[in-house]
Structure 1
Amino acid sequence: MTQNLSPIISASDLLLLSALPEFVLIDARFGKANYEAGHLKGAHHVDLNSQLSDIKADFAEGGRHPLPTASRFSELLSSLGISPSSHVVVYDDKNGANAAARFWWMMRAIGHEKIQVLDGGMDAAIHAGFPLSSEVEKVYLKGNYKVSFWQLPVADIREIDKVSQDPEYLVIDVRENERYRGEKEPIDLVAGHIPGAVNIPFASNLDPKGFFLSPTGLRAKYEKALEGKSAENIIVHCGSGVTACHTLLALAHAGMEIPKLYVGSWSEWSRNGREIATELG
């Protein structure tokens, strides 16, 4: 596969790709019931909570959506009929910000290159005439995927302790500005942000219609924000390590190196007695 393959695919290109024998389509929308009510024909469902995460009883240990082991993820891929040669496209109904970008990141993190996110999500595919189905799709041939470790860089809470206020590093919080400022917190226990983190909401990766900005537009935006810092000195987080992947996807779409993901994110930081910053008067 060429390294020039975009991490984003349009609905029109998806229609063409769907005829290829190595094509696998993944529905990453929340809730199996939504999938069973109707999905893009041929798509297999993956569940964020039970399959793309290893959720602990105490969210202070890794946050709300810790990663499973890479080997467990590879078992999931095999069960979905995905092998190292598969061309995989994933979609959700939140412009990639639900679990589609997380699944994309996990695939890239095991070294898989032929993985793309559907721009505009399920609605864009429906508008383009992609057929729908309410049948649970069968996997006729199991894949053979064997990996044992994540290849993309991740940061843990101890690293955040060390670098969050170091001017040589940049910690990016992609949550909505109201949550970052500490005005509201609809999910976690405490409002605010990691001291030293800057706020670049993931929604700013999209145009008013919900499609990703062009690679040129994204590159201009992030080159300005990153101020020349290398990817190894940049850490991206959100509430629980899911929507942060939307920004990692945007950076890849811009042709830039993928920085570190802080998987535990705010859900872990805010439960561990760490300092909390706000911008409230």
Structure 2
Amino acid sequence: MNQKYFVDCQWLAQHLNNSHVVIVDCRFQLSDPNWGWLQYTHSHIPGAYYLDLDRDLSSTIQAHGGRHPLPEVEGLGTKLASMGVVQNETLVVAYDNSRFAFAARLWWLLRYLGHEKVALLDGGWNAWQSDGYPVTTEIPPAQTGFFEPQPHQDWIVNLEQVKACQNKPGVVLVDSRERDRYAGIREPIDPIAGHIPGAVNSPWQLVSDQDGYLLPSINQEQLWSDYTSAEEIIVYCGSGVTACVNLLSLKLAGIERTKLYPGGWSDWCSYLNQ
């Protein structure tokens, strides 16, 4: 397990009272947006705060831009500070129960905003529960931290930039959705099925096992072995959320030349509907 970007349940249990560690619950369901908050209020890791995909980790949906536009950075910075996060000092540990689908969005966002000290809980909430570690319903009070967002604007691309790169040698466009959505066989969320022309497919679920544990480094490297010589890899999914799991995997595989298309297929197909 990569110690820089992951911690296990035993480690987290030993650091529940560490003032330099802030825990964030990222549980969410696209089909039921209130579900994550309800689960959090019912039971969560002691000391954990909650960040909601729709309300905290995304901004307001517009006609274009996708279903989960990147959040307004000053607002997110204020929320992180109120959880006690001190930029570049506090280790933020994020978890969900969806094989990193939502926690990885926070992992990527924090690094995008200039905060490298962030890790994911290997196995997530399910591992914490099954291993018998303590849980609580107590919501922690607001704290005083400091977070001044410094976005890496060159980490993201928009629709026009994707179009400009579509047939460019050396640039790989990766669709992170399940194979049947990529193939246009099934589309449960967006109004049009299919994928961006020229994109290859690497489903985000290949990064972890069925129980939500990160697969070994050799697996991460194998996932991207065909693209190690790429000049740039642009990753997208439906709306810039699960693509972050693949960006995490690429990081673990030692591939740095990556960018996120946050709007993803939901932004792309919004122009096809006109």
- Identify whether the pair has TM-score above 0.5, normalized to the shorter chain: yes
Question: Where do residues 28-177 of structure 1 align in structure 2 (5 Å cutoff)?
Answer: 28-30=26-28, 31-58=36-63, 61-84=64-87, 85-97=89-101, 99-139=102-142, 141-150=143-152, 153-177=155-179
Aligned AA (1:236): V
Matched-pair contact (CA < 8 Å) for 1:89–1:118: yes
- Structure 1 residue runs of 5 or longer lacking an equivalent are 275-281
Q: How far does the alpha carbon of each residue in 1:114-141 deviate from its partner, in whole angstroms, 9 at most, with x for none?
A: 10011111011122332101122222x3
Distance 2:200 2:37 in 1: 35
Residue of structure 2 aligned with 1:204, choices 203, 206, 211 = 206
Distance 2:126 2:226 in 1: 31
Distance 2:179 2:133 in 1: 35
Query: Which stretches of structure 1, 4 residues or longer, exceed 6 Å deviation after superposition?
Result: none
TM-score scaled to structure 1, two decimals? 0.88
Matched-pair contact (CA < 8 Å) for 2:97–2:212: no
* Partner SS state of residue 155, structure 1: coil
Residue 12 of structure 1, CA deviation: 1.9
* Partner SS state of residue 271, structure 2: coil
* Alpha-carbon RMSD: 1.7
Alignment match, 1:254: 253
Aligned AA (1:13): W
Distance 1:175 1:188 in 2: 12
Aligned AA (1:15): A
TM-score scaled to structure 2, two decimals? 0.91
Matched-pair contact (CA < 8 Å) for 1:252–1:258: no
* Percent identity of equivalent pairs: 37
Distance 1:71 1:249 in 2: 24
Residue 258 of structure 1, CA deviation: 5.7
Distance 2:215 2:264 in 1: 25
Alignment match, 1:278: none
- Structure 2 residue runs of 5 or longer lacking an equivalent are 29-35
Aligned AA (1:86): T
Q: How far does the alpha carbon of each residue in 1:257-277 deviate from its partner, in whole angstroms, 9 at most, with x for none?
A: 261000000000011128xxx
Q: How far does the alpha carbon of each residue in 1:204-245 deviate from its partner, in whole angstroms, 9 at most, with x for none?
A: 1113433111123212321x2314113xx2100000000000
Aligned AA (1:94): S
Residue 256 of structure 1, CA deviation: 3.0
Question: Where do residues 236-247 of structure 1 align in structure 2 (5 Å cutoff)?
Answer: 236-247=235-246
Aligned AA (1:44): Y
Residue 33 of structure 1, CA deviation: 1.1
